[in-house]
Chain A
Amino acid sequence: MRSLATARPRPFRLGTTGLVYLALVSIVLVGTAVAAARGHNLLGTANLVDMLTRSSLLGFVAIGQTLVILCRSLDLSVGYVMALSSVVAATTMAGDPARIGLGIAAVIAVSALIGLVNGLVVTRLRVNAFIATLGMGLIIKGYLDTRYKGPAGDIPEAFQLFGYTRIAFLPLSAAAMVAAAVLAILFLRMTRTGYHMYAVGGDAEVARMSGIHVERPVITAHVLCSVAAGAAGLLVAARFGTGSTLVYASGYDLESIAAVVLGGTYLLGGRGGVAGTVAGVLILAVLDTVFNILAVDPFFKDVLRGVIVIAAVAIYARRQVDRTASRSRFAGSRGGPSGGTGDPPHPAPAEQGGRT
């Protein structure tokens, strides 16, 4: 994964992604030392498996979320898509190994459709992404709560292997997540749509003027994000052996956004990448495992997570300020609040007034 990070093309992204991996390595080192003091081996097979398994589920969601955030959008419906997908998978497969393919296809179709609707509502109806996807989440929640009363369906043993098989210390699910990350990176670097995502997220107006169909990348990102959440739903189903409607209450929506920004992607779009997100997810997983070893109170975990996410993003922000200041001639192309799907513009202290 390190090689992926160093392969990032643009210097400013390499900087942040490098920093994220540096943070990951130092957290692993500190965690190992702390665990060793307690007589545990953080890098032993058991703990490695634990960390990687924890990261695979959030990983899928966060990879998709990265694409959406790169386009200066946001997806708050991912938790609900996960829950719906797990139920669709479990009820379609209905315990029959012959129907595994059908189940996967159904999940992809359903989640892609939801992503398409999200994308269209955001781009065509110009509903703010925050509200559009929140509303979509509510719609799915209502459907799930009305239609299913609790876990539904049955996952055949053969597909449960997806959730439990591992090669040495590498769980199959984590390998699949890394494969998805590689695909996403290739997509962003090799395809036109991928390239346009950065352009649209950076500045939709400039992108439009340079002849890009600004809606297409946003819609594509939403579709891919939902499909990624659908993949997470498949993993949930494989691990649970059934479809779980209540997964949406586990907070994957906000956590995935936290993982994405922890990975150095700029919340207002245009900067960042999937490699950083994977590191962000791993950081959260390592912290979780270390907290577990130390038997940290679960409520204290929330406090620590909150502080860590804020602190990390503050550090990235600081670096970005320094870098941009030293490359001020590029600042012009990034200026001005765009009227897109945006989140609130990044605050600029008065003395930094030249930049948004």
Chain B
Amino acid sequence: MRIPRALLAGGAAMSLLLTACTTDDPDSADAGQELTPDEEWFDAEEYENQLAQRDIEPEGPEDEPWLQAIEPEMADTSEYKLEGEDAEEPTVCFSNASVSNPWRVTGWITMQQQVEVLQESGDIGEFRVSDAADDDNQQISDIQAFVDAGDCEAIIISPSTTATLTPAVEAACESGAPVIVFDRGVNTDCMVTFIHPIGGYAYGADAAEFLVEELEPGSTVLALRILPGVDVLEHRWAAAQQVFGDSELDVLGFEFTEGDGAQIKDLVTQHLQRGDVDGIWMDAGDGAVAALEAFEDAGKPYPVISGEDELSFMRKWQEEDITAIAPVYSNFQWRTPVLAASQILNGEEVPQEWVLPQQPVTEAELDDYLERNADMPSLHYAKFGGEDLPGFPDAWQDR
């Protein structure tokens, strides 16, 4: 009895000691060590490409960014053109990853409103939806069910994870119906069009460049991330590491917060107890207000911060006159896939890779966007792009 007991106690003590040992590294190695982006998530060519795309004038109608495209290469879709009876109210199927965060909820409402318009005009008929609740396996089954049902004239997919959904998307392509993928991508180009805003690198770089510009050299920056392993989020961080690595800023480290306000506030409070934090970089705006409140409660001046075009953050930004930027992962992209479906079924050309514009909201545009969204709830996204839809504003207000 005595030995295991001693072992256990030793084990507990050891694990504590071990923690103490491991941690010396990041502490002493300062900022430099973790600022080389993970190779797995850093594609230098794609990075440069995205940074360049930010400055390219998109083609398409000026006041309808969801129909614009950056350097489109058009794909012929005449093989999918529906004739005669088929062309009347075709069934469109949509496999959604989830509506588990406010960004997706906002986009989903916009999409439904767009669908209503298209249904009214007869461009699409039944709009069949499966929601996989963030479960990859569920989504594979959902897509398979669409293929097996055989009556989907077009299949729209918003994949939950890039790599894991690839086989299912390929199976959908083989079914013969045109496949439209948007938001996160998949590792195949079998779909007719892949719709997405410029991307994660541009998002992360927009945020990091702003901090580099606004902060004195040597200032400290804390990075708040939601969770590891999600490619769009990893790309944002990889780009930020790249930008910070070339700067004089001192990156204190990064923390995973799961987007939970209480955790964000906890973590920021603790970092403030240890020393000053001059800048906050976030890979998504959820909980940005909680991060700012941690500064208020600790009696420290507001940091320079990058949030997102989420209204609670933008309102705080305006009220407190903070130095901030709101990088945007264009929420209006949720309109594009259904419009693309109707175009494809009409045999119209669509861009093969449909790169939508993605521009951060800056100080100069802040008031304008807040005014336009004055009646919207706080977890709404400023660039949702649904102002001209008939359901506006009620559909987004009473969710």
CB of A150 within 8 Å of the partner chain: yes
- In the assembled complex, the CB of B205 is this many whole angstroms from the nearest CB of chain A, namely 19
* CB–CB B141/A250 < 8 A: no
* CB–CB B230/A150 < 8 A: yes
Give a binary string over A160-201; 1 marks a CB under 8 Å from any B CB, 0 the rest: 100110000000000000000000000000000000000000
* A149 CB contacts on chain B under 8 angstroms: 38, 40-41, 228-229, 234
- In the assembled complex, the CB of B344 is this many whole angstroms from the nearest CB of chain A, namely 23
| Interface segment, one of A12-20, A43-51, A306-314, A333-341 | A43-51
* CB–CB B145/A47 < 8 A: yes
- In the assembled complex, the CB of A36 is this many whole angstroms from the nearest CB of chain B, namely 15
Within the assembled complex, what's the spacing in Å between the Cα atoms of A148 and B129?
32
Closest A residue to B163 by beta carbon equals A151
* A209 CB contacts on chain B under 8 angstroms: none
* CB–CB B167/A150 < 8 A: no
* B118 CB contacts on chain A under 8 angstroms: none
* B166 CB contacts on chain A under 8 angstroms: 241
With A46-B149, A149-B41, A150-B234 already in contact, the answer to whether A247 and B163 are too (CB < 8 A) is: no
* B368 CB contacts on chain A under 8 angstroms: none
CB of A236 within 8 Å of the partner chain: yes
Partner of B229, one of A246, A289, A295, A298: A246
Give a binary string over B161-177; 1 marks a CB under 8 Å from any A CB, 0 the rest: 11111110001000000
Closest B residue to A53 by beta carbon equals B141
* A57 CB contacts on chain B under 8 angstroms: 137
Partner of A249, one of B38, B134, B163, B234: B134
CB of B98 within 8 Å of the partner chain: yes
- In the assembled complex, the CB of B128 is this many whole angstroms from the nearest CB of chain A, namely 7
CB of A123 within 8 Å of the partner chain: no
Closest A residue to B233 by beta carbon equals A150
Interface centre among A236, A246, A297 (most CB of B within 10 A): A246
CB of B99 within 8 Å of the partner chain: yes
Within the assembled complex, what's the spacing in Å between the Cα atoms of A242 and B136?
12
- In the assembled complex, the CB of A131 is this many whole angstroms from the nearest CB of chain B, namely 14
- In the assembled complex, the CB of B171 is this many whole angstroms from the nearest CB of chain A, namely 8
Q: Number of contacting residues on A, CB 8 A?
A: 35
* A133 CB contacts on chain B under 8 angstroms: none
Q: Number of contacting residues on B, CB 8 A?
A: 38
* CB–CB A239/B231 < 8 A: no
Within the assembled complex, what's the spacing in Å between the Cα atoms of A298 and B105?
13
* B-contacting residues, A280-320, CB 8 Å: 289, 292, 295, 297-298, 301
CB of A244 within 8 Å of the partner chain: yes
- In the assembled complex, the CB of B204 is this many whole angstroms from the nearest CB of chain A, namely 15
CB of B8 within 8 Å of the partner chain: yes
Closest A residue to B171 by beta carbon equals A164
* CB–CB B131/A46 < 8 A: no
CB of B373 within 8 Å of the partner chain: no
* A49 CB contacts on chain B under 8 angstroms: 144, 148
With A160-B167, A236-B137 already in contact, the answer to whether A245 and B229 are too (CB < 8 A) is: yes
CB of A348 within 8 Å of the partner chain: no
- In the assembled complex, the CB of A256 is this many whole angstroms from the nearest CB of chain B, namely 14
Within the assembled complex, what's the spacing in Å between the Cα atoms of A242 and B98?
21
* B41 CB contacts on chain A under 8 angstroms: 149-150
With A149-B41, A149-B234, A246-B229 already in contact, the answer to whether A125 and B8 are too (CB < 8 A) is: yes
- In the assembled complex, the CB of B167 is this many whole angstroms from the nearest CB of chain A, namely 5
Within the assembled complex, what's the spacing in Å between the Cα atoms of A160 and B149?
22
* A-contacting residues, B134-168, CB 8 Å: 134-138, 140-142, 144-145, 148-150, 161-167
* CB–CB B150/A46 < 8 A: yes
- In the assembled complex, the CB of B263 is this many whole angstroms from the nearest CB of chain A, namely 15
CB of B14 within 8 Å of the partner chain: no
With A149-B38, A150-B40, A244-B164 already in contact, the answer to whether A292 and B145 are too (CB < 8 A) is: yes
* CB–CB B141/A54 < 8 A: yes
Give a binary string over A127-158; 1 marks a CB under 8 Å from any B CB, 0 the rest: 00000000000000000010011110000000
* CB–CB A298/B99 < 8 A: yes
* B-contacting residues, A202-260, CB 8 Å: 236, 239-242, 244-247, 249-250
* B149 CB contacts on chain A under 8 angstroms: 46
* A240 CB contacts on chain B under 8 angstroms: 136-137, 140, 161, 163-165, 167
* A53 CB contacts on chain B under 8 angstroms: 141, 144
* CB–CB B228/A145 < 8 A: yes
* B141 CB contacts on chain A under 8 angstroms: 50, 53-54
- In the assembled complex, the CB of A247 is this many whole angstroms from the nearest CB of chain B, namely 7
CB of B269 within 8 Å of the partner chain: no
- In the assembled complex, the CB of B12 is this many whole angstroms from the nearest CB of chain A, namely 12
CB of B133 within 8 Å of the partner chain: yes
* CB–CB B229/A250 < 8 A: no
* A289 CB contacts on chain B under 8 angstroms: 145
* B-contacting residues, A81-97, CB 8 Å: none
Within the assembled complex, what's the spacing in Å between the Cα atoms of A247 and B136?
8
- In the assembled complex, the CB of A54 is this many whole angstroms from the nearest CB of chain B, namely 5
* CB–CB A50/B229 < 8 A: no
* A-contacting residues, B333-370, CB 8 Å: none
* CB–CB B167/A298 < 8 A: no
With A50-B141, A53-B144 already in contact, the answer to whether A295 and B129 are too (CB < 8 A) is: yes
* B142 CB contacts on chain A under 8 angstroms: 292
Within the assembled complex, what's the spacing in Å between the Cα atoms of A244 and B163?
9
Give a binary string over B232-257; 1 marks a CB under 8 Å from any A CB, 0 the rest: 00100000000000000000000000
CB of B378 within 8 Å of the partner chain: no
* CB–CB B148/A50 < 8 A: yes
* A-contacting residues, B166-216, CB 8 Å: 166-167, 171
Within the assembled complex, what's the spacing in Å between the Cα atoms of A245 and B163?
11
* B171 CB contacts on chain A under 8 angstroms: 164
CB of B119 within 8 Å of the partner chain: no
Within the assembled complex, what's the spacing in Å between the Cα atoms of A108 and B167?
25
* B98 CB contacts on chain A under 8 angstroms: 298
Within the assembled complex, what's the spacing in Å between the Cα atoms of A246 and B392?
36
* B129 CB contacts on chain A under 8 angstroms: 295
Q: Enumerate chain B interface residues (CB-CB to A < 8 A).
A: 4, 8, 38, 40-41, 98-99, 128-131, 133-138, 140-142, 144-145, 148-150, 161-167, 171, 228-231, 234
| 12 A-B residue pairings within 8 Å (CB atoms) | A150-B40, A150-B41, A150-B229, A150-B234, A151-B162, A151-B163, A151-B229, A164-B171, A240-B137, A241-B163, A246-B161, A292-B145
Q: A150-B234, A298-B98 are in contact. List 15 more A-B contacts (CB 8 A).
A: A47-B145, A53-B141, A124-B4, A125-B4, A145-B228, A151-B164, A239-B140, A239-B164, A241-B164, A244-B136, A244-B161, A247-B137, A250-B134, A289-B145, A295-B128
Q: Which 3 A-B pairs have the closest CB atoms?
A: A46-B148, A240-B164, A151-B163
